[in-house]
Chain A
Amino acid sequence: MTTRSLENLTFPRRLLIEQGGPGHRGPELPRCDVPAVPIAELLAGITLRETLAFPEVSEPEVVRHFIELSTLNHHIDRGFYPLGSCTMKYNPKINDEIAALPGFALAHPLGPDSANQGALRVIFELQRLLAAITGFAAVTTQPSAGAQGEMTGLMLIRAYHRSRGEGETRVKVLVPDSAHGTNPASVNLLGWETVTIPSDERAGVDLHALSRALDSTTAAVMLTVPNTIGQFERNILEVTQRAHAVGAQVYMDGANLNALVGLVRPADLGFDVMHINVHKTFSTPHGGGGPGAGPVAVARHLEPFLPVPVVVERDGQYTLVHDRPQSIGRVHAFHGNFGILTRALTYILTLGPEGLRRVSRTAILNANWLMRRLAKTYELPHAEHCMHEFVLSGKRLRKHGVKTLDVAKRLLDFGIHAPTVYFPLIIEEALMIEPTETETLDRLEHFALAMERIAREATDHPDLLLNAPHDTPVSRLDEGRAARELILKWRAPLGPEPASTPETVGRR
């Protein structure tokens, strides 16, 4: 003991299974207040499990474990998070408080409508507000996330084509090469074929290529507006018109709606259907990777096909209606991610029309300021004004042996999350930056200074980048080993003395 340095005395971080042991336990349950019968008798004929190799740890230690883990995360309440396409804006705390109200949190999805009037009203009102914001006729809030919204939207399109006797012939979907990966993946889920449309020199849809690909077998065109380069599609009215001219439907990926709220309504651009990532635009937290919600808004001609049940209001009473013969059916076991929808409604009501308009205007202003500032240091492939985000290329740094990934990792040392990297695929060494409207000028300047310093370091001390990050809970992790060895769960379930020989995170 006497020879141990202070560093070696740091209490090691261990997984729960490596802590505690037999005899330790967390909070207890009440004693059984009904006449107890042996389980083997109640469940006669059923094979029970022999062991459950679960942790045995006291409540204070479980709490400490997770609180310690929490300190290892970057998050929006701690610092800047310019992750392009993800809209990492501040999440107002009132959202969580409202979703946690017992009347909402404990509501059961299969009770009678009379027991759930408040919950149904939340869904009904949110649908109405989302319709007003997007300009569409109707909204379903059932899809759980953007990708499920895409799939739902495509199914609505398929149902529409079928209703017109074109279900068998319209089997391909045109998707630009700058699109999110979920677009082609969703198309594939329907058994349709993706046709990739190249971008023109201004990162817009190449109209000639589009026209060549459009024909009577086209089911839909899927577009992200603004696109993933952060540019508003200049020819959008032309694109939607040409698609409609051959009988195709036009789908908008609403991942970037944060640029348009109160400025432009997607329905006015000629779209037939879109999804909305409420965890992006409408500020519900991202939760470390979900839950989100992906409501889908549609023009009048697609409304009959919406998932069941739908919420209907009559004389202040809300009811769930299942009898919709043309519906595509359900896409969720119940009514979608209600707790997330409640947060989105809270946010929209908090901001109101003027506040929402200010969201998009400020997001656009922040992005443009940052883009012009960083264009002095990094290559900017598309020099037009951007909307809410923009994409830089790190390829100038290549001559120093430095990649975009190294820039991303070095940023972590400055308490800043990395931008989205290597996406969109049409830009080499892409750095996709979305500052959002909730950042102050101070924060933007700090980020710009960090990026500028990193560019200098790339020239003068490339090792600083290649070995980054330096000031994070762990250094660069070996993703190759992870994929090779595929250790996907803890290896040592409870042994006789699980805490005796821990393999520790803090080990040097």
Chain B
Amino acid sequence: MSFTGLTTHEEQRMLREIGVGAFDELLDAIPERVVLHQPLPIPGPLSEIEIRRTLGEWSRTNAADRAVSFLGAGAYDHWIPSAVNAVAMRSEFATAYTPYQPEVAQGSLTAIFQFQSMIAELTGCDVANASLYDGSTATVEAALLARGQTGRKRVVVAGALHPNYLGVLRTYLDGRDLTILENRGGSCAALDLRAGLGPDVACVIYQHPNFFGLLENPRGIHAMAHEVGALVIAVCDPVALSLIEPPGKAGADMVVGEAQPLGNPPSFGGPMLGYFACKQSLVRRMPGRIAAETNDRDGRRGFVLTLQTREQHIRREKATSNICTNQGLMALRATIHMGLLGRQGMRDVAELCVQKSHHAAQLATAVPGYRRAHDGAFFREFALECPLDASAIVARGMTAGILPGVDLGQFRPEWKRWLLVAVTEQRSAQEIERWVQVLADAGRTS
């Protein structure tokens, strides 16, 4: 099986018409000593029946197939309306390329335009792009933009940014001119931020809600950063943004983050959906693709990719970013998702997350030995300090069909008793009770 469509007879005819006697003559530019004569040492071919059997078996060894999940930390189990899958997996969207010929890509372009519109509205920013790889690379691109715009080097991370985002930031910045401020009490403390700022700071990055689910004080952070002429980058969860004041409205220069929670499954962490929104004044430095409204020669409204002179295929080494492929299909899913939920549904999801996560926190902290690791308001997610290692609770949960939270010990040894717990609208009161039971059982055996 190779999905090719030529018979031997047709191949012979084509070779004749090309004017060669045998196929190998077409390869005359390849040095003979590197041409493979042995088949590749790989398995297959497998029929659909065999593929389904084999990979189906592998998929069932993942607990996701059966366990109730309280995992978050950047990838969430939110409700995805049936219509999202049904529409997004249509060939017309899934098997199209980047809309470089807009006259035959109005479907994708109109969707991107609406994605940009909804992300701009959610974040309170003037403009948004068509998507980036994931929340971590969106954060990096924002930091690079800030460096270009300000001509300054130092990037300051205030408060609890996702450790993996920090890791990616470190890789891209080559570990240079990067200042990471302490997370006092789990969130960004004003006194640490003030001490960390100076005239060489290009930008201040903060996550809101932060890695521990805690809501920050955006206006305070913005004021201090702007005082020294630094740009502000807020890394935000889009579900939270349908409930809380958007940082763009409160003066953030860029709002970026991970939009997987909008209509996309966790999929073992990818493909995710980085989003990027900013002030109008930064639009010409914005990375990635951007759709814009225009009209055709008959005056009809239509959409095209615009400002392509920022991009690598035109600008080469002077491009604002090296990004080419983005996350089109994930952005389409998010657009359908947001369109279906609408003004009310978006808010309903966010409110259910708040209600259920607070309920879970209340029940958990009533179990002897458990307490919240931090004070302060939180959205959907909180760190629970446990009487034993979080990894032991995870193991205990697995036996009861529950993934009780993310073991934060995998990030830092001093966090090994912290379990990061996410409770979305998907979790029922009964599932939350089962989860509390796991905590109680694990606590007793400690």
Physical interaction between A and B:
yes
Known: A16-B339, A103-B62, A438-B3. A34 touches B429 (CB 8 A): yes
Contact B4–A332 (Cβ < 8 Å): no
Residue interface bits B401-427, CB-to-A below 8 A is 1, else 0? 001001100100000000000000100
List residues 328-368 of chain A with CB under 8 A from any CB of chain B: 328-340, 342, 345-346, 348-359, 361-362, 364-366, 368
- Tell me which of B134, B294, B407 contacts A481 (CB under 8 A): B294
List residues 301-333 of chain B with CB under 8 A from any CB of chain A: 301-304, 306-307, 311-319, 321-330, 332
List residues 259-288 of chain A with CB under 8 A from any CB of chain B: 261-265, 268-269, 279, 283, 285-288
Contact A42–B106 (Cβ < 8 Å): no
Contact B1–A357 (Cβ < 8 Å): no
- Asked whether any CB of chain A lies closer than 8 Å to the CB of B42, the reply is yes
Q: Smallest CB–CB gap between A251 and chain B, Å?
A: 14
- Tell me which of B28, B83, B289, B345 contacts A25 (CB under 8 A): B345
Once the chains are docked, how many angstroms separate the CA of A81 from the CA of B91?
A: 14
Q: Smallest CB–CB gap between B261 and chain A, Å?
A: 13
Q: Smallest CB–CB gap between B88 and chain A, Å?
A: 8
- Asked whether any CB of chain A lies closer than 8 Å to the CB of B269, the reply is yes
- Asked whether any CB of chain B lies closer than 8 Å to the CB of A106, the reply is yes
Residues of A within 8 A of B300 (CB): 474-475, 505-508
Residues of A within 8 A of B121 (CB): 52-54, 489, 493
List residues 107-127 of chain A with CB under 8 A from any CB of chain B: 107-112, 114-119, 121-122
Contact A43–B379 (Cβ < 8 Å): yes
Residue interface bits B60-74, CB-to-A below 8 A is 1, else 0? 111111010101011
- Tell me which of A26, A443, A483 contacts B339 (CB under 8 A): A26
Residues of B within 8 A of A15 (CB): 110, 113-114, 117
Once the chains are docked, how many angstroms separate the CA of A441 from the CA of B302?
A: 35
Contact B104–A412 (Cβ < 8 Å): yes
- Asked whether any CB of chain B lies closer than 8 Å to the CB of A39, the reply is yes
Q: Smallest CB–CB gap between B192 and chain A, Å?
A: 20
- A141-149, A296-304, A394-402, A455-463 - interface stretch: A141-149
Contact A114–B398 (Cβ < 8 Å): yes
- A1-9, A182-190, A206-214, A242-250 - interface stretch: A182-190
- Asked whether any CB of chain A lies closer than 8 Å to the CB of B162, the reply is yes
Which of A112, A291, A475, A494 has the most B CB atoms < 10 Å from its CB?
A291
List residues 215-255 of chain B with CB under 8 A from any CB of chain A: 215, 241-246, 249-250
Residues of B within 8 A of A372 (CB): 17-19
Nearest CB in chain B to that of A83: its residue: B97
Residue interface bits A89-109, CB-to-B below 8 A is 1, else 0? 111101011111111111111
Contact B270–A335 (Cβ < 8 Å): yes
Contact B94–A287 (Cβ < 8 Å): yes
Known: A101-B59, A147-B325. A133 touches B339 (CB 8 A): no
Nearest CB in chain B to that of A32: its residue: B355
Contact B215–A349 (Cβ < 8 Å): no
Q: Smallest CB–CB gap between B369 and chain A, Å?
A: 21
Once the chains are docked, how many angstroms separate the CA of A139 from the CA of B309?
A: 33
- Tell me which of A109, A286, A409, A439 contacts B97 (CB under 8 A): A286
Contact B64–A102 (Cβ < 8 Å): yes
Residue interface bits A472-497, CB-to-B below 8 A is 1, else 0? 11111111011101111110011000
Which of B18, B307, B340, B342 has the most A CB atoms < 10 Å from its CB?
B342
Once the chains are docked, how many angstroms separate the CA of A39 from the CA of B215?
A: 14
Contact A482–B83 (Cβ < 8 Å): no
Contact A476–B19 (Cβ < 8 Å): no
Once the chains are docked, how many angstroms separate the CA of A418 from the CA of B4?
A: 22
Contact A91–B327 (Cβ < 8 Å): no
Contact A73–B403 (Cβ < 8 Å): no
Known: A34-B359, A62-B83. A408 touches B55 (CB 8 A): no
- Asked whether any CB of chain B lies closer than 8 Å to the CB of A437, the reply is yes
Which of B55, B301, B330 has the most A CB atoms < 10 Å from its CB?
B55
Contact B358–A42 (Cβ < 8 Å): yes
Known: A46-B377, A286-B98. A107 touches B267 (CB 8 A): yes
- Tell me which of B26, B62, B270 contacts A339 (CB under 8 A): B270
- B8-16, B182-190, B193-201, B437-445 - interface stretch: B8-16
Known: A105-B267, A289-B130. A479 touches B294 (CB 8 A): yes
Known: A15-B114, A349-B46, A441-B10. A91 touches B94 (CB 8 A): yes
Q: Smallest CB–CB gap between A168 and chain B, Å?
A: 13
Known: A279-B325, A350-B1, A355-B1. A332 touches B116 (CB 8 A): no
Contact A102–B110 (Cβ < 8 Å): no
Total CB contacts across the A-B interface at under 8 A:
702
- Tell me which of A32, A269, A481 contacts B352 (CB under 8 A): A32
Contact B328–A288 (Cβ < 8 Å): yes
Nearest CB in chain A to that of B271: its residue: A291
Residues of A within 8 A of B79 (CB): 29
Residues of B within 8 A of A373 (CB): 17
Residues of A within 8 A of B332 (CB): 287-288
- Tell me which of B92, B295, B303 contacts A75 (CB under 8 A): B92
Once the chains are docked, how many angstroms separate the CA of A16 from the CA of B297?
A: 24
Nearest CB in chain A to that of B80: its residue: A105
Q: Smallest CB–CB gap between B246 and chain A, Å?
A: 6
Contact B62–A63 (Cβ < 8 Å): no
Contact A117–B59 (Cβ < 8 Å): no
- Asked whether any CB of chain A lies closer than 8 Å to the CB of B191, the reply is no
Contact B97–A62 (Cβ < 8 Å): no
- Tell me which of A92, A353, A490 contacts B42 (CB under 8 A): A353
Contact B103–A412 (Cβ < 8 Å): yes
Once the chains are docked, how many angstroms separate the CA of A286 from the CA of B283?
A: 26
Contact A333–B258 (Cβ < 8 Å): yes
Once the chains are docked, how many angstroms separate the CA of A279 from the CA of B325?
A: 10
Once the chains are docked, how many angstroms separate the CA of A151 from the CA of B340?
A: 38
List residues 93-149 of chain B with CB under 8 A from any CB of chain A: 93-108, 110-111, 113-114, 116-118, 120-122, 124, 127-128, 130-131, 133-137
- Asked whether any CB of chain A lies closer than 8 Å to the CB of B366, the reply is no
- Asked whether any CB of chain B lies closer than 8 Å to the CB of A256, the reply is no
Contact A329–B168 (Cβ < 8 Å): yes
Once the chains are docked, how many angstroms separate the CA of A144 from the CA of B29?
A: 32
Q: Smallest CB–CB gap between A24 and chain B, Å?
A: 8
Nearest CB in chain B to that of A16: its residue: B339
- Tell me which of A29, A108, A506 contacts B75 (CB under 8 A): A108
Once the chains are docked, how many angstroms separate the CA of A42 from the CA of B376?
A: 10
Contact B322–A115 (Cβ < 8 Å): no
Residues of B within 8 A of A232 (CB): 27, 29-30
Contact B289–A181 (Cβ < 8 Å): no
Residue interface bits A315-334, CB-to-B below 8 A is 1, else 0? 00000000000001111111
Known: A350-B46, A361-B23. A104 touches B105 (CB 8 A): no
Q: Smallest CB–CB gap between B177 and chain A, Å?
A: 12
Nearest CB in chain B to that of A89: its residue: B3
Residues of B within 8 A of A52 (CB): 121-122, 242, 343, 346-347
- Asked whether any CB of chain A lies closer than 8 Å to the CB of B385, the reply is no
Once the chains are docked, how many angstroms separate the CA of A469 from the CA of B296?
A: 11
- Asked whether any CB of chain B lies closer than 8 Å to the CB of A160, the reply is no
Contact A332–B133 (Cβ < 8 Å): yes
Residues of A within 8 A of B45 (CB): 349-352, 354-355
Contact B86–A63 (Cβ < 8 Å): yes
Once the chains are docked, how many angstroms separate the CA of A285 from the CA of B90?
A: 11
Contact A477–B315 (Cβ < 8 Å): no
Known: A42-B354, A269-B34. A74 touches B105 (CB 8 A): yes
- Asked whether any CB of chain B lies closer than 8 Å to the CB of A132, the reply is yes
Contact A69–B83 (Cβ < 8 Å): no
- Tell me which of A26, A408, A437, A485 contacts B3 (CB under 8 A): A437
Contact A476–B296 (Cβ < 8 Å): yes
Contact B104–A417 (Cβ < 8 Å): yes
Nearest first, the 4 closest Cβ-Cβ pairs linking A and B are: A334-B269, A352-B44, A109-B269, A287-B329
Contact sample, A vs B, 21 pairs, CB 8 Å cutoff: A32-B351, A43-B244, A46-B377, A49-B243, A74-B104, A75-B92, A76-B96, A98-B52, A103-B61, A104-B62, A106-B62, A110-B71, A110-B406, A117-B61, A151-B322, A286-B328, A288-B108, A338-B271, A479-B306, A483-B292, A508-B299
